[in-house]
Structure formats: C-alpha cells, structure tokens
Amino acid sequence: MHVHFLDPYRPRSSPIHRLDGRVKFVLILAFILTAALLPAGAWAPYGALFGLILLVEFLSALGMGYVLKRSALAFPFVLAALPVIFTAKGSIVAHLPFGLVVSEVGLERFASIALKSWLSVQAAVVLAASTQFPDLLVAMRAVRLPRLLVMLFGLMWRYLFVFADEVMRLTRARSARSGQSDLPNAKTGGSVAWRAHVTGGMAGNLFLRAFERSDRIYMAMLARGYDGEVRTLPLPAIRRVHWLVFIAGLAILVLLLILGFLF
Amino acid sequence: MFLSPIQMHIPDGFLSVPVALILWAISVIVVGYALRRANRDLGERQVPLMGVLAAAIFAGQMLNFSVTGGTSGHLLGAALATILLGPWAAVLVMTTVVGVQALIFQDGGLLALGGNLFNMAVIGVSVSYTVFHTIRKLAGNRRRAVFLGGFAAAWLSIVVASLAAAIELAASGTSPANIAIPSMGGIHMLIGLGEGLITLGALTFSQASRPDLLQAGSTRTVRGGLVWVFGLGIALLLAIASPLASAHPDGLEWVAEQKGFLDAAKGPVFKIIPDYAMPGISNSAAATILAGVLGTLLVFGLALTIAYLRRQRHSAS
C-alpha cells in the first residue's frame, strides 16, 4: 500500500496552478502577514481578504468543499482563544450562568483571532494544493533560504512516503500480532506500559531503518559525484505576466492594510 | 492523517505580530548557527542522514498506542533525534519536520512557524540535550543513565515546549496567562509521559540491536558554556512566566471581582475548555506541579553551574 494520498497537491489546469511558484509563495506569505497585521475588529478589510481568498479558491478549481474541509483542521485550536471572551475588560454584552460575563472587547478579539486564523489556513491550503513540492523548493531557494536547509527539505519529502509506508507496515504487523477488539474501549495487548514499550520498539526500528537507508543513499550519492557540496541549477526567470500579478497582489494587500488602519 | 496529536503547533492568527517576529528572529539565529556548525563539523555523510531521519520522525509521528478510552500516546521525536544525532543536527532535523508540517499539511501556521520552530526545534532540542547530558554526567555514564536520561529528556522537552507555547499565546493576548500556562502545562505533563515511554522503548531497542549508534550520537557534545546559557535561558523564561501566571491582572480574578466570589468562578471556566482542562486537577494543583517543574529546572541549572565551575578548576590546576 502506498500513501501518495498524503500529498495535498491536487493537479488541475487553472491560472492559480500555472502561476509561478515563487510568486505564489511570496504572495500567500504576504496575505497571511496582512491578516496578522490588521487590527482586531477591522471587519471591512477582513471581508475584502475573505473575498480575495474566495476568488483565488474559485480560480484554482480546487473545489470549495476541499478547501473548507482542509481548513477546518486548524479549528480545534480556536478553543485556546475562547477564554479571552470572558476575561477582556470592556462594556458587558451578556451575563452567563456561573458568574461569567461576555465583554464586547473580548468578543471582538475572539472573533478577530478566529477569522484571521481561518483566512490564513485557507491561504496555506491553496498554496499546498496548487503547487508541487519541487516548485516550493525553487521558491525557498528564490527567497534565499540556505542551500543545505533546502536540500534537507527535498530529501525529507523524497523519503517521507517511503517511511510512511514503513510505518504502515510496522503498524499492520503489530495489529496482526496483538489482536484487536471491535468493542470500543476494550483492552488490547497487555498493559499501557507494555503497549508503550512495543510502540517504542517500533520507533527504534524505524530509526534504525532510517540509519541504514541513509547509508545506502549516501553511497548512491557518492556514485553520482556527490562531494559534500550542494549544487543546484540556476533559477529560471519569472515571466512578465507573473511579475505583474505579483506587483498587483502586493499592491492590493498594502492597500487593504492601510484601509484597516485608517478606518 | 497527519493532524498533529500534540496540541502544540500554533496556527496563524494566534500570535501577535511582534511576538511572532521576535520568535522568528531567535529561531533564524539558532537554525543559522546550527547550519554553520553542520557545514563545519558534520561530515558530508550527515546530510542524507539528517534528511532521511527527518522523514522517519515525520512518519514516526503516526505511531501511537492506546492509553485509555479514545486517548493515545504519540511521539514528537525531538529528544530521540537529539540523543541519536547530537544537538545541532537535531535542530536541523526538527526544523525540517516542523517546516514541512506547516507548509504542506497546515499543521501550524506560516507566520507562526517562527514560534513553532522556537518551541519544537530550539526549546525541544536544547531541553532534551541539557537534561540527557546532565543525567548522564551525574550518573557517571552508566548504561541505565541512558534510559533514565532519555525518558526525562523526552518528558521535560514536551512539557517545557508546551509552556513556551502557552507563554507565547499569553504574550500575544490570545489566551490569558493564568489559564493557558497551567492548562497547557498540565495536559502536556500527561502527553509527555507517552513521549517518554516511546523514547525509552526506542532507546532500549537501539541499545539491543545497534549499541554503536547510541554511543556515536551521545559523544557529539556542545561546549559547556553554551549548554549553561541554554539552561539559564529556559529557567529564566519560566521564572518570568510563573509570576505572570499568578499576578496577571486581567483574567479570572477580574471575573471574580465582578461577581465577588473567586472559587465559584474558577471551576466553570475550566469546564468550558475541555481540550485544555485537566479533569480532577484543580488550578492550584496544576500550579503546584508547575512550580515543581520550575524547581527541577533550577536544580538542573545549579547542577550545570557546579559541573562547569568544577571543570574550570580542573583545567586550571
């Protein structure tokens, strides 16, 4: 069984997919930074950002359902911001049982945090679903990330699926040997400490396989002329249309930011 | 599938921009230094090893074991990477893991990535390293010290990283300090046990099948002074945090002031956040455990100081 379904890239032929990875990478980062910089309660610019990301999602032909489903993954963390509703000082909107009071400032701050978070996750989902990993590596090089780090990212991505397969094999072997009950909450396979020990053994096994595989990879790299130096092809030029998209995108974001602070 | 089992990856929107930028700056400095050290000290053989090990750690986070009901124990891997590879390579491995989680799987935000790198790559690795080597030094390199040190390093790295995350959320005004710090710390004291047990199992397995790996990894050391600085930095961070947690003016006290009864207001707030509350343990108990962690860290700092001074005297005489 192969776990290519893990790769969030969705091949489509859309303008968003065709947009240069470097432009997309920087614009998405700028979008997230804009959302973060906007003050709490700047609803009009938030709405504009929402419209912008909806437009991008529509253009990307990924399907709204897909983006919404994936962006819901970050939702549980909103709970961490929930207490802010009750603890911020300000005019009181409502009294709840147990002596809790909801303040206007708290409500506004909570809604802003949740909305900003949701907008940012949607942007990140679009980036990951419309850009292939090698293009992201090119983007990382374009923003001058150290070569060694980019190479580590590349190596990791190359072997992530191999090791995800290994983990699934290990897990299957464990379930085959320790027996599982269909009943929920039924104890399987010994005490908690024993189960933890078995899982630890699996982790150790996985790491040993990683060590051994890295030896083989090193030999293969040596055979192909590796001498410790990271060499890469020169980056291709960015087409003029993409430059225009880049400048227009940045201009819109800066405009929204100024609007957010003025009103 | 790769939804993080450990609620420690902060998404975007939860950190204020100044906090995010400060954490980015620290992470960039540490990762940059680790890259320089990797280029200088580590052989070219280490490059594929780091990349492959990052993939293994990422995939290894899928491993779990059921504890009770629906909960399960998981692996974060910072301690294991530190013990097997040494601190600088471990920083790079964890940076790669956390970076791909944010970039591809939206597990943690992109602007918040600086904070997540700080918690998991910088704090996670430095705590693991400090604890593991202090215990090994104190126990005189006995075999059992490897296991004890591995467990303690794994547990404490999770707990301290979660406390750092809570402090960052509090400093951003996202979550009140007196709720975020005890609840994050409390829940991760339990989660950390899973991490510790898995790390222990992995070390036992490695010791049995490839003892040479364990020896090779643990000999890659950092200069004593640097360890001392790390230890002190973390101890200071916590020392700043704990008065923040108790003396922060906004927060629950304000609710209590409004209503005039402190105790009645405390319970319900914890019930509203089931994800972060620890059933059965009241706020004051969690705070006491927190104080214990603080004490432990201070003792570690003290032990390091003594070891450092002693070595200075040795080299002087």
Contact in structure between B107 and B145 (CB atoms under 8 Å): no
Is residue A12 included in any domain, yes or no?
yes
Torsion angles phi and psi, residue A31, rounded to 5: -60, -45
CATH number for the domain harbouring residue B208: 1.10.1760.20
Q: Flag whether pLDDT at B26 surpasses 80.
A: yes
% of chain B at pLDDT higher than 70 = 62
- For residues A77 and A168, state if they share a domain: no
Shortest CA distance from B252: residue in chain A: A87
Residues 209-228 of B with CB under 8 A from A: 209-210, 213
Chain A residues with CB under 8 Å of B15 CB are 36
Is residue A185 included in any domain, yes or no?
no
Inter-chain touch B80–A162, beta carbons under 8 Å: no
Is residue B11 included in any domain, yes or no?
no
* Distance, CA of B124 to CA of B113 (rounded, Å): 15
- For residues A211 and A111, state if they share a domain: no
Is residue B5 included in any domain, yes or no?
no
Q: Flag whether pLDDT at B141 surpasses 90.
A: no
Position B278 scores a pLDDT of 35
- For residues A19 and A133, state if they share a domain: yes
Q: Flag whether pLDDT at B267 surpasses 60.
A: no
* Distance, CA of B8 to CA of A212 (rounded, Å): 31
- For residues A246 and A132, state if they share a domain: yes
**pLDDT per residue over A182-234, tens digit each?**
666 666 667 778 888 888 899 999 999 999 999 999 999 999 888 877 777 88
Q: Which of B9, B12, B41, B273 to mutate to test the interface with A (most CBs of A within 10 A)?
A: B12
> Does any CB of chain A come closer than 8 Å to the CB of residue B63?
yes
Residue type, B33: Y
Residues 29-88 of A with CB under 8 A from B: 29, 32-33, 35-37, 70-71, 73-74, 76-77, 79-84, 86-88
Q: How many domains does chain B have?
A: 1
Position A31 scores a pLDDT of 95
Rg (CA), chain B: 20
Torsion angles phi and psi, residue A41, rounded to 5: 85, 10
Inter-chain touch B47–A70, beta carbons under 8 Å: no
Inter-chain touch A73–B3, beta carbons under 8 Å: yes
Q: How many domains does chain A have?
A: 2
Position B302 scores a pLDDT of 66
End-to-end CA distance of chain A: 55
> Does any CB of chain A come closer than 8 Å to the CB of residue B206?
yes
- For residues A105 and A157, state if they share a domain: no
Is residue B7 included in any domain, yes or no?
no
Chain A residues with CB under 8 Å of B201 CB are 196-204
Q: Flag whether pLDDT at B229 surpasses 90.
A: no
Inter-chain touch A121–B32, beta carbons under 8 Å: no
Q: What is the distance, to the nearest Å, from the Cα of residue B253 to the centroid of all Cα atoms in its chain?
A: 29
Mean pLDDT to the nearest integer, B58-73: 72
Is residue A257 included in any domain, yes or no?
yes
Higher pLDDT, A85 or A240: A240
Domain that holds residue A200: 146-177+193-232
Domain that holds residue B189: 17-316
Q: Residue B123 — pLDDT band, cuts 50, 70, 90?
A: very high
Is residue B9 included in any domain, yes or no?
no
> Does any CB of chain A come closer than 8 Å to the CB of residue B7?
yes
Position B139 scores a pLDDT of 77
CB nearest to B67's CB, from A35, A162, A192: A192
**pLDDT per residue over A20-64, tens digit each?**
999 999 999 999 999 999 988 888 999 999 999 999 999 999 888
- For residues A211 and A116, state if they share a domain: no
**pLDDT per residue over B77-106, tens digit each?**
899 999 988 899 999 999 999 999 898 888
Is residue B182 included in any domain, yes or no?
yes
Contact in structure between A84 and A113 (CB atoms under 8 Å): yes
> Does any CB of chain B come closer than 8 Å to the CB of residue A204?
yes
> Does any CB of chain B come closer than 8 Å to the CB of residue A121?
yes
In terms of average pLDDT, the best of A3-17, A91-105, B208-222 is: A3-17
Inter-chain touch A207–B201, beta carbons under 8 Å: no
- For residues A72 and A56, state if they share a domain: yes
* Distance, CA of B65 to CA of A178 (rounded, Å): 12
CB nearest to A89's CB, from B16, B66, B254: B254
DSSP string computed for B196-213: HHHHHHHHHHHHHH-HHH
> Does any CB of chain A come closer than 8 Å to the CB of residue B96?
yes
Mean pLDDT to the nearest integer, B127-138: 87
Tokens representing residue A21 in the block: 């990875």
Is residue B173 included in any domain, yes or no?
yes
Cα separation values, B227 from B194, B221, B247, B303, Å:
26, 10, 31, 12
Bridge partner list, B68: B71
In sequence order, which residues have a C-beta less than 8 Å from that of residue B191 and are 6 or more positions away? B6, B73, B74, B158, B162
- For residues A41 and A129, state if they share a domain: yes
Least Cα distance to B101 among B226, B231, B8, B34 occurs for B8
- For residues A83 and A135, state if they share a domain: yes
- For residues A26 and A52, state if they share a domain: yes
Residue type, A236: P
Is residue B147 included in any domain, yes or no?
yes
Tokens representing residue A150 in the block: 């980019």
Mean pLDDT to the nearest integer, A246-262: 92
The pTM score is 0.81
* Distance, CA of A140 to CA of A142 (rounded, Å): 5
% of chain B at pLDDT higher than 90 = 25
Mean model confidence pLDDT for chain A: 86
> Does any CB of chain A come closer than 8 Å to the CB of residue B50?
yes
CA-angle at A92, arms to A91 and A97, nearest 5°: 165
Q: Flag whether pLDDT at B249 surpasses 60.
A: no
Higher pLDDT, B290 or B144: B144
Is residue A226 included in any domain, yes or no?
yes
Mean model confidence pLDDT for chain B: 74
- For residues A106 and A214, state if they share a domain: no
Q: Residue B256 — pLDDT band, cuts 50, 70, 90?
A: very low
* Distance, CA of A215 to CA of A213 (rounded, Å): 5
Mean pLDDT to the nearest integer, B144-155: 90
**pLDDT per residue over A101-160, tens digit each?**
788 888 888 899 899 999 999 999 999 999 999 999 999 999 999 888 999 999 999 999
Is residue A183 included in any domain, yes or no?
no
- For residues A253 and A131, state if they share a domain: yes
Inter-chain touch A155–B13, beta carbons under 8 Å: no
Q: Flag whether pLDDT at B257 surpasses 50.
A: no
Position B258 scores a pLDDT of 41
Mean pLDDT to the nearest integer, B9-31: 92
Is residue A13 included in any domain, yes or no?
yes
Contact in structure between B53 and A214 (CB atoms under 8 Å): yes
The conformational region for residue B142 under phi > 0 = left, psi -120 to 50 = alpha, else beta, is beta
**Residue whose pair of structure tokens reads 């910088």 in the numeric block:** B122
Position A255 scores a pLDDT of 93
Residues 234-263 of A with CB under 8 A from B: none
* Distance, CA of A74 to CA of A91 (rounded, Å): 30
Position A21 scores a pLDDT of 92
